[in-house]
Amino acid sequence: MRAMPKRIRDYGITIGKLPPGLRNSITDVDGVTVGHTTLDDGPVKTGVTAVLPHGGSLFREKLPAAVHVMNGFGKPAGTVQIEELGTLETPIVLTNTLSVGTASDALIDYMLERHPGIGDTTGTVNPVVCECNDGYLNDIRGKHVQRKHVIKAIEEAKTQVAEGAVGAGTGMSCLGFKGGIGSASRIVKIENRRYTLGVLVLSNFGRREDFLLNGMRVNPLISDHEREEPDKGSIIVIAGTDAPLTEHQLKRVIKRTSVGIERTGSFIGNGSGEVAVGFSTAVRISHNPRRAFTNIKRIHENYIDLLFRAAAESTEEAILNSLVSAETTTGRKGHRRVSLTEYMHLIQ
């Protein structure tokens, strides 16, 4: 059995001040699960990752949600309705750029099979799919992601989150190294109550010469410099919390994920798409309400700073976990991305 890949804390590197959750993962938020389908065969380096915010029916019991676009060089599906209505009603699927259509169609099929009323006795459904371009390592033109891969990722979601070159992260590059899936979490205390905020990233951005590891510039420590390229990748950040937040407050929180991205050295370049999606599991919004009005609990703004910090710290650590968990990968046309782990002995 292959050993579990190391995470950034295994190298003695602690990010931030707040304590992590039990798994240091988005699944520390109760009810959240994550599934992957990995396609790794020669020039095919791609896949699907699914985030399920709770184990019930998301369509019948929606969650408060928000979207924040840091740079809009991206092709996500479903974010317009989240921005307008402030709710999430499907799992969140991550994949490569040219497979958004397939993933969206598969997610619609998944929801239709479980909710016969969709499009008949009730409205339609808003599938949420986010993407990054894995075309450097992956034969993206081949459009290898199929419906069955999306369904498999959703159905096999669990609390243990595989990281690195798995699922949607199989062919991703980050900061000149092999990127992919990473996750982290933070625990905050507000009036003696514990809340969890967890983040999952699909990292595919940045340049090696800009890379910062816990504030330290890494490039001068590495001798085999590769040719630098423009920052034309992307990152998707999925943030979940059990703290009671409105959609407006969620948007304020996920804006702070940009702090974590910048702390790793990104300047959010013109050709890079940075999108964050956030949700709260503290409140469920009925699709068929019995009453016209509801009372929704929310944190007062004067106490929200800890959640801002949690979003920044979790994002930074999730990105670093995606780097050290990913193995060196050779993909299409012999393109190669080296794992950060091959240099950690020089950095520590």
DSSP 122: B
The distance from CA 164 to its chain's CA centroid, rounded to whole angstroms, is: 12
Do the bridges between strand 273-280 and strand 234-241 make them parallel or antiparallel, or are there none, so unpaired?
A: parallel
Name the residue among 172, 265, 170, 137 with its Cα closest to residue 210: 265
* 272 is annotated as an active-site residue: yes
How many whole angstroms separate alpha carbon 209 and alpha carbon 222?
A: 10
How many whole angstroms separate alpha carbon 5 and alpha carbon 8?
A: 10
Task: Find residue 50's DSSP bridge partners.
Answer: 35, 93
Tokens of 166: 């798995």
Angle at 50 (CA atoms; ends 49, 53), nearest 5 degrees: 145
The answer to whether 132 and 322 are in contact (CB under 8 A) is no
Choosing from 274, 313, 316, 317, the catalytic residue is 274
How many whole angstroms separate alpha carbon 6 and alpha carbon 52?
A: 25
How many whole angstroms separate alpha carbon 156 and alpha carbon 227?
A: 39
Long-range (24+ apart) CB contacts under 8 A made by 331-335 are 331/43, 331/45, 331/136, 331/137, 331/138, 331/139, 331/171, 332/42, 332/43, 332/45, 332/137, 332/138, 332/139, 333/43, 335/136, 335/137
* 274 is annotated as an active-site residue: yes
Choosing from 104, 173, 234, 266, the catalytic residue is 234
The answer to whether 107 and 51 are in contact (CB under 8 A) is no
The distance from CA 191 to its chain's CA centroid, rounded to whole angstroms, is: 29
The amino acid that residue 138 corresponds to is N
Choosing from 203, 258, 272, 280, the catalytic residue is 272
Positions marked active-site: 234, 272, 274
